[in-house]
Chains A and B, each alone.
Chain A
């Protein structure tokens, strides 16, 4: 099939405004849709990040103490009694004290150095504290070394900063500190005067934070064998027996209040299962993904409809000329090809401009919001999508044009 570009260009020159508007609309749509796709993909990747926790069965109790005037020993006795009570519940598999938990949305983290004199940190690690039940309670996978022994677990009061001599680290932190792979048995400094020796490695273990800064140290976390007996409060992480999460969540606060009433477990968000924790911590990401999806879909629909509208107008305007061409021997498919080619030329101009705009917009977000660089694949996908959209949108009016009868040429001239 022989398509003549020259007459199309000549015709387009007579419709400068319309041509320009369609091209511009395609360009802007491409710029926004590419970036929206990029943002959606990034945010969805965040949403599905592995925590390492047995999320189906684990829940967290935020327990605040009402009486601030107690010694560390008194608090510790209470914590141990609470844990015993929790572990004895029929629906509970295990429980651990904690100062934070994965996906909490921020919390304790320490800089890590290889020597005590080193001023510029090697990296940063999320800090978790717990007893010898921490790994089993969260359901973390120990990939090397061993769990904490009960006698390693230390007590840390409110006004103390204690560095235990042992630690279990995440695979990501082990790899960062000891790229050669022999992290087990080696030691590091995490803002303490004494070193901590790595006795075990778990994989994976998400940090508490999910913000941009935390993501820079993705998956780097350490666990210290500590009962952090802060006079203000403590987290109890509890793992229910399979299928008994609801029972365990109902029984746990009752068991705790039966131990001692001078505590606060917020009725609204004092007890949260991991589905809730995950849902809450990623609400920004989810919201952005939804917003960008809605905008992209509506945008593509509006652009397609716009192309249909303008092309229909052109077809209507040119019925006579089409009739003349048909009378002079042009076949239906020649007319169809004419409009498809015309749209392709306009769209191609649009996507070239759009690709430039898309990259420019991405660069702006990189400098302004510290977002990452967009892979050109998104632009590629966007270009193909918009060219197809253009051809699809123009199909109906073009088919209508191709059905114009040669008789039209004779009418009202």
Chain B
């Protein structure tokens, strides 16, 4: 049966027995041919299946590309060594349903920094600044960035194009060193090495010590207090103590409790308002445990000193725990993914039904083939391969829809998130693999039914 399409003459003139491998291969090629022919036989049914698979795969891939972008690990090499300490300075009646605030006030932040209990530690808060260009003709530029301490760059593995960060001595000296982004460097200095040059920020002069090459981990794990995690790359990093000296208020969030009555910078620093995000680097579980104990002791000391009227309530979350706690993945992208997967599942159920109809319509043909000696296994393989061709066609269509969808994903998600969705090689591969595997999986039952067609019964009734 399986050789019936081949050339009889060649079969006799080349009597060598094909090796098992090439035989299997030629069989598969033959099944593929049969599959394609069968696809052409019921164009309506085939179109319907291919469309269903295409839509289902595309919906899943589009939402997956967004979900993948927002749920990834922004610093894979170190996410388990970086921790953000939280200390409850608000107490059980005003904290976040038992959880400490998501940032620290000045007093606690400085206490943790000075205690120096971790291998590396940094404090940071966002700044909104203006760059006043040298020439008086040009208008000032907006520059967003962070006040950070020296360890920031090493802790977060910030890559430099020129120069580098500053030292702990510069922190102590409250120096006017700044690090700028390549983007700002391009705007101000045409991309030249600007290390050593002066930059005017908010009316004060600063000295550039480093230029960061493109660095914008997303989600922005280190500042989830003020950002949703998907902001544009920062332009500037400034010495934390220098920003304090200049009384620069946070350009991000500020959250307070009780009654607010400060009337000066000092009053603000001593208030219960939280606005500083601390990070520490801890290498081993023992270090983590030790730091956690330190935090508890610190909070207990504050209670003894009368500053806190409640028992120690501290947290020490690493990067992934912090992303999870802060709900960085927007609920929309999760719901969209779940709904899209449900949609794909329905498409597959639909495909099972249609394949069943398609295969069983050929029960007579199967009966004849079985009667002529085809094994169940061969029938089974043939129909799975046929389903595979449907999956392949569905994959091609799905890829088309995915490409369209990813380019139009800005309609569906916020621009800062939509921008992250990309049709890369892995997504293309995944689209095909998912389409083919899912269709073949959907074909298991219909193909099994086809393989179990009773030859005698079919021959009798036709």
Contact of A67 with B268 in the complex, beta carbons under 8 Å = no
Which candidate, A174-182, A297-305, A322-330, A334-342, is the interface stretch facing chain B?
A297-305
Question: Which residues on the A side are within 8 Å of B248 (C-beta)?
Answer: 68
Q: A264-B141, A266-B142 are in contact. Are A161 and B261 (CB under 8 A)?
A: yes
Number of interface residues of B (CB under 8 A): 69
Which candidate, A1-9, A29-37, A79-87, A382-390, is the interface stretch facing chain B?
A29-37
Which candidate, A133-141, A145-153, A185-193, is the interface stretch facing chain B?
A185-193
Q: How close is A176's CB to chain B, nearest CB, in angstroms?
A: 20
Q: Using an 8 Å CB-CB cutoff, how does the interface string of A354-392 with B read, 1 for contact, 0 for none?
A: 000000000001001101000000000000000000000
Which A286-314 residues sit within 8 Å CB-CB of chain B? Answer: 286-288, 290-292, 295, 298-299, 302-303, 305-306, 309-310, 312-313
Q: A36-B339, A302-B51, A313-B361 are in contact. Are A161 and B260 (CB under 8 A)?
A: yes
> Is A242 on the interface with B (CB-CB < 8 A)?
no
> Is B263 on the interface with A (CB-CB < 8 A)?
yes
CA distance A322 to B323 in the complex (A): 63
Contact of A68 with B413 in the complex, beta carbons under 8 Å = no
Q: Using an 8 Å CB-CB cutoff, how does the interface string of B122-164 with A read, 1 for contact, 0 for none?
A: 0000001110100000011110000000000000000000000
For B262, give the chain A residue with the smallest CB separation: A161
Q: How close is B262's CB to chain A, nearest CB, in angstroms?
A: 5
Which has the most chain A C-beta neighbours within 10 Å: B51, B336, B349?
B349
Question: Which residues on the B side are within 8 Å of A73 (C-beta)?
Answer: none
Contact of B347 with A302 in the complex, beta carbons under 8 Å = yes
Residue from B52, B93, B203, B445 in contact with A66 in the complex, judged by beta carbons closer than 8 Å: B203
CA distance A263 to B249 in the complex (A): 18
Number of interface residues of A (CB under 8 A): 66
CA distance A18 to B360 in the complex (A): 11
For A113, give the chain B residue with the smallest CB separation: B259
Q: A303-B346, A306-B354, A316-B361 are in contact. Are A283 and B415 (CB under 8 A)?
A: yes
Contact of A365 with B335 in the complex, beta carbons under 8 Å = yes
Q: How close is A7's CB to chain B, nearest CB, in angstroms?
A: 21
CA distance A36 to B59 in the complex (A): 14
Question: Which residues on the A side are within 8 Å of B132 (C-beta)?
Answer: 66-67, 262
Contact of B350 with A306 in the complex, beta carbons under 8 Å = yes
Contact of A283 with B414 in the complex, beta carbons under 8 Å = yes
Which B52-73 residues sit within 8 Å CB-CB of chain A? Answer: 52, 55, 59, 63
Which B395-422 residues sit within 8 Å CB-CB of chain A? Answer: 411-415
Q: Using an 8 Å CB-CB cutoff, how does the interface string of A12-54 with B read, 1 for contact, 0 for none?
A: 0000011001101100110110011001000000000000000
Question: Which residues on the A side are within 8 Å of B93 (C-beta)?
Answer: 119-120
> Is A232 on the interface with B (CB-CB < 8 A)?
yes
Q: How close is B173's CB to chain A, nearest CB, in angstroms?
A: 21
> Is A64 on the interface with B (CB-CB < 8 A)?
yes
Question: Which residues on the A side are within 8 Å of B303 (C-beta)?
Answer: none
Q: How many A-B pairs with Cβ below 8 Å?
A: 179
Q: A158-B249, A189-B259, A262-B132 are in contact. Are A119 and B94 (CB under 8 A)?
A: yes
Question: Which residues on the B side are within 8 Å of A284 (C-beta)?
Answer: 330, 332, 413-414
Question: Which residues on the B side are within 8 Å of A309 (C-beta)?
Answer: 44-45, 48, 353-354, 357
> Is B449 on the interface with A (CB-CB < 8 A)?
yes
> Is B265 on the interface with A (CB-CB < 8 A)?
yes
Contact of A192 with B261 in the complex, beta carbons under 8 Å = yes
> Is A410 on the interface with B (CB-CB < 8 A)?
no
For B248, give the chain A residue with the smallest CB separation: A68
Question: Which residues on the A side are within 8 Å of B342 (C-beta)?
Answer: 28, 31-32
Question: Which residues on the A side are within 8 Å of B331 (C-beta)?
Answer: 369, 371
For A369, give the chain B residue with the smallest CB separation: B331
> Is B429 on the interface with A (CB-CB < 8 A)?
no
> Is B462 on the interface with A (CB-CB < 8 A)?
yes
Question: Which residues on the B side are within 8 Å of A302 (C-beta)?
Answer: 48, 51-52, 55, 346-347, 350
Question: Which residues on the A side are within 8 Å of B116 (C-beta)?
Answer: none
Contact of B130 with A298 in the complex, beta carbons under 8 Å = no
Contact of B411 with A159 in the complex, beta carbons under 8 Å = no
Question: Which residues on the B side are within 8 Å of A192 (C-beta)?
Answer: 259-261
Residue from A66, A295, A306 in contact with B202 in the complex, judged by beta carbons closer than 8 Å: A66
> Is B356 on the interface with A (CB-CB < 8 A)?
yes
CA distance A25 to B248 in the complex (A): 60
Question: Which residues on the B side are within 8 Å of A18 (C-beta)?
Answer: 353, 356-357
- 25 contacting pairs across A/B (C-beta < 8 A): A17-B356, A18-B357, A28-B345, A29-B346, A64-B130, A65-B130, A66-B130, A159-B264, A159-B267, A161-B260, A161-B263, A192-B259, A193-B259, A257-B139, A284-B330, A284-B414, A287-B412, A288-B412, A292-B339, A295-B340, A309-B45, A309-B48, A313-B357, A317-B360, A369-B334
Q: Which residues of A line the B interface, CB within 8 A? A: 17-18, 21-22, 24-25, 28-29, 31-32, 35-36, 39, 64-69, 111, 116, 119-120, 158-161, 189, 191-193, 230, 232-233, 257, 261-264, 266, 283-284, 286-288, 290-292, 295, 298-299, 302-303, 305-306, 309-310, 312-313, 316-317, 365, 368-369, 371, 412
New A-B contacts (17) at CB < 8 Å, excluding given A295-B59, A295-B340, A302-B48? A18-B357, A21-B349, A66-B132, A68-B129, A68-B130, A159-B268, A192-B260, A232-B251, A263-B140, A264-B141, A264-B142, A266-B142, A284-B332, A290-B411, A298-B59, A309-B44, A369-B335
Q: Which residues of B line the A interface, CB within 8 A? A: 44-45, 48, 51-52, 55, 59, 63, 93-94, 128-130, 132, 139-142, 202-204, 246-249, 251, 256-265, 267-268, 330-332, 334-336, 339-340, 342-343, 345-347, 349-350, 352-354, 356-358, 360-361, 411-415, 445, 449, 462
